[in-house]
Amino acid sequence: MLIVKKFGGSSVADKEKIYHVAQRCIEDYQKGNEVVVVLSAMGKTTDKLIELAKEMAPNPSKRELDMLLATGEQTSVACMAMAMGALGVPCVSLNAFQVAMHTTSTYGSARFKRIDSQRIRHELDSKKIVIVTGFQGMNKYDDVTTLGRGGSDTTAVALAAALKADACEIYTDVEGIYTGDPRVVPNAKKLKEITYDEMLELATLGAKVLHNRSVEVAKKYGVQLVVRSSLNTAEGTIVKEEVDVESMLISGVAVDKNTARIAVIGVKDVPGTAFKIFNLLGKHNINVDIIIQSIGREGTKDISFTVARDDVSEVIALLEENKSRITAQRIEKDETVAKVSVVGAGMQSNPGVAAKMFEAIYNAGINIRMIATSEIRVTVLLDEADADNAMRAVHDRFIEY
């Protein structure tokens, strides 16, 4: 069996942890499996490198930032290979150039285009454990790229697809995917299985266990994932195309506090206004989430939407600059909001999920500010201060114990 195993930065933060991971990989190897290990940078290395970059230049070149950040994973794969070597197991570390992991050219958020499997195949054939740098790639200019935060998950899934691996295991510091954040909802339950689509909604909504892009790639290439703990051998959560129809109505409740509401007040009620606003933001790579358009006074309307908090100042600046073109009377922002969502493939065939959710929130005495829905998700925007209570109320309403 060919197994791709991915370990995050906290799992390889120091010598002891590296040896622990090495042992786990060696167990699989000694059972006769082919093992490919994908690693993130050790501990807080990436944060420290970003600090170093900001020290060097207030606004460092994105190309050079990727060049710098890539040293983090190169350090961790070399250390892991030293550890496995000391344990007497043949192994080799490879960086993105050595594998040849080709990506698009966008520094800081590159996407895989093609991964050569030849070098890894050769090393596996030589009976070595292969240890690959996560998070990084090379573009058509032979420059170093990175995939963005959490990108090592995507590396693991893309490698599993390229190598036609039999298993892709994502190790983390929790035991799997839960129906809610266990820190907020003490009785959250671990899911046995979840679909790619549900996982995508949860990842987007801030569940933070799996990198969103990794789930997209897994879905596209049909790579079945297991999310499990690097600390124990508990069964994790399987992420796959379809799950048992008898499974729960909803698979999880997520909270996302990294959100802000922007309101564009009093724009002319003529065609094309919304297009102008969102085209402007799209050109600047700003992701917009919930959008609400409401009728204002005297032939005007108000357009509200949510964006990530990091983007707020840029969004406000852009809108103010273009205020007359988009015919806005006033721009407002509110950074004290949060999103609570229920996600579940089951809700497609079960009407009334939204109503049940609103009821739970109403019973908790919490006011809903905006609402958005997809086929497998219902999201409400509410005051950040109410978010955790709302999450517990919704979780209690849907998850059976």
Binding residues for its own copies (CB under 8 A): 15, 18, 49, 52-53, 55-61, 63-65, 67-68, 70-71, 74-75, 77-79, 81-83, 85-86, 92-93, 95, 97-98, 119, 142-144
Rounded Cα distance between 22 and 84, Å, is: 6
Rounded Cα distance between 173 and 377, Å, is: 26
Q: Min. distance of Cβ 45 from its own copies in angstroms? A: 10
Q: Min. distance of Cβ 17 from its own copies in angstroms? A: 12
- Is 50 or 184 the residue whose CB approaches its own copies more closely? 50
Q: Min. distance of Cβ 49 from its own copies in angstroms? A: 8
Q: Are 391 and 357 in contact (CB under 8 A)?
A: no
Q: Min. distance of Cβ 165 from its own copies in angstroms? A: 22
- Is 70 or 205 the residue whose CB approaches its own copies more closely? 70
Q: Min. distance of Cβ 334 from its own copies in angstroms? A: 35
- Is 38 or 328 the residue whose CB approaches its own copies more closely? 38
State the amino acid at position 361 in one-letter form. I
Burial class (CB in 10 A: 0-12, 13-18, 19+), 322: middle
- Is 53 or 370 the residue whose CB approaches its own copies more closely? 53
- Is 82 or 184 the residue whose CB approaches its own copies more closely? 82
Rounded Cα distance between 316 and 41, Å, is: 35
- Is 1 or 56 the residue whose CB approaches its own copies more closely? 56
CA distances from 199 to 34, 76, 93, 137 (A): 28, 28, 31, 25
Structure tokens at 334: 């509110």
- Is 87 or 385 the residue whose CB approaches its own copies more closely? 87
Q: Min. distance of Cβ 395 from its own copies in angstroms? A: 43
DSSP-assigned states of every residue in 84-142: HHHTT--EEEE-HHHHTEEE-S-TTS--EEEE--HHHHHHHHTT-EEEEE-SEEE-TTS
Could you tell me how many residues make up the chain? 401
Collect all residues with Cβ–Cβ distance below 8 Å to 233 and sequence separation of at least 6.
none
Q: Are 372 and 290 in contact (CB under 8 A)?
A: yes
> Where are the alpha helices (H) located in 284-372, listed in sequence order?
312-321, 353-363
Q: Min. distance of Cβ 118 from its own copies in angstroms? A: 11
Q: Min. distance of Cβ 61 from its own copies in angstroms? A: 5
- Is 155 or 251 the residue whose CB approaches its own copies more closely? 155
